[in-house]
């Protein structure tokens, strides 16, 4: 897992106007991301609208992504489901197509106890052919993975990564210190990317990279490779208005897809229950996009 680092674009799933999957748009988008220098791709996560996809569609998008990437960067596939057996099925499928790992949230809607979260990842560690990403997102799961549970999970075989999406920089810092020798720690909060890299995160599960991949790579390089925190802070402050729109409006999917249509990628179509971008957010978004070179 030494090659797992940097900017992992957690990609949207492009749809045609009739709601079918637009593989041509997915191809064009992925090729642009690769040319822009992202370090990894993550299909069929929440940004990819996994709840709106059938299991077969999720597999097909993952397969298509692997073919498009063609070994250029690692691919970590989303395998989240309320049903544990579905997560195992998707993990085994991801293993069969050559993915580098799977991202799995404790089952959403279940509200598991800490003991149940541990047993869940323990089971996955024996069933998945790929390294598993522990995903701490209390907003999506309903329950946070406690630091004590995370330490126990990190001891399990076949656990490879942590996506820290609590929005608490103290949690990320503690995770880097306590399990960073066992798990690759990813920033999972858009508006904490700078702080997370400074505090030792190795990678970023990055929604903004859909729209501004080169800018995200530049931020990573300035902080991690060049240690130029002053210049990185300037770039980050340019990013923050858009990062906050992603995190704070509740319209992350709409913001990303509308931004992509302005760049010529996809139709902007979402599947139910997602609705089109609200007018107020659209006005603010288009204003923000004019303030910096989001490329």
205 belongs to an annotated ligand binding site: yes
Active-site pick, 118, 135, 194, 220: 135
Among the options 59, 152, 163, 257, which is catalytic? 163
List all residues 6 or more positions away from 257 whose beta carbon is below 8 Å from its beta carbon: 12, 266, 268, 269, 270, 277
Quick check: is 163 catalytic?
yes
Give catalytic status of residue 135 as yes or no.
Answer: yes
What six digits make up the tokens of 163? 């996506």
Instruction: Write out the binding residues for pyruvate.
Output: 47, 205
Instruction: Write out the binding residues.
Output: 47, 205
Residues with active-site annotation:
135, 163
């Amino acid at each position: 897992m030494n090659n797992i680092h940097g900017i992992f674009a957690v990609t949207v799933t492009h749809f045609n106007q009739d709601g079918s999957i637009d593989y041509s748009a997915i191809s064009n988008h992925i090729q642009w991301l690769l040319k822009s220098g992202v370090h990894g791709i993550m299909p069929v996560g929440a940004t990819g609208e996994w709840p709106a996809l059938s299991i077969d569609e999720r597999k097909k998008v993952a397969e298509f992504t692997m073919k498009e990437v063609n070994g250029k960067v690692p691919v970590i596939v989303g395998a989240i489901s309320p049903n544990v057996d579905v997560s195992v099925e998707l993990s085994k499928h991801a293993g069969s197509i050559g993915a580098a790992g799977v991202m799995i949230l404790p089952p959403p809607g279940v509200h598991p106890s800490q003991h149940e979260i541990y047993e869940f990842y323990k089971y996955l560690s024996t069933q998945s052919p790929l390294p598993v990403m522990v995903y701490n997102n209390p907003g999506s799961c309903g329950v946070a993975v406690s630091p004590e549970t995370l330490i126990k999970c990190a001891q399990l075989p076949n656990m490879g990564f942590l996506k820290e999406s609590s929005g608490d920089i103290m949690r990320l810092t503690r995770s880097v210190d306590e399990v960073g020798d066992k798990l690759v720690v990813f920033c999972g909060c858009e508006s904490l990317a700078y702080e997370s890299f400074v505090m030792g995160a190795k990678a970023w599960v990055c929604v903004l990279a859909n729209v501004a991949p080169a800018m995200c790579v530049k931020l990573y390089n300035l902080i991690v490779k060049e240690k130029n925190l002053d210049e990185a802070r300037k770039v980050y402050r340019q990013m923050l208005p858009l990062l906050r729109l992603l995190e704070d409006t509740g319209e992350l999917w709409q913001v990303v897809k509308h931004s992509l249509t302005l760049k010529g990628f996809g139709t902007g179509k979402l599947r139910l229950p997602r609705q089109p971008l609200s007018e107020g957010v659209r006005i603010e978004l288009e204003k923000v996009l004019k303030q910096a070179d989001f490329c």
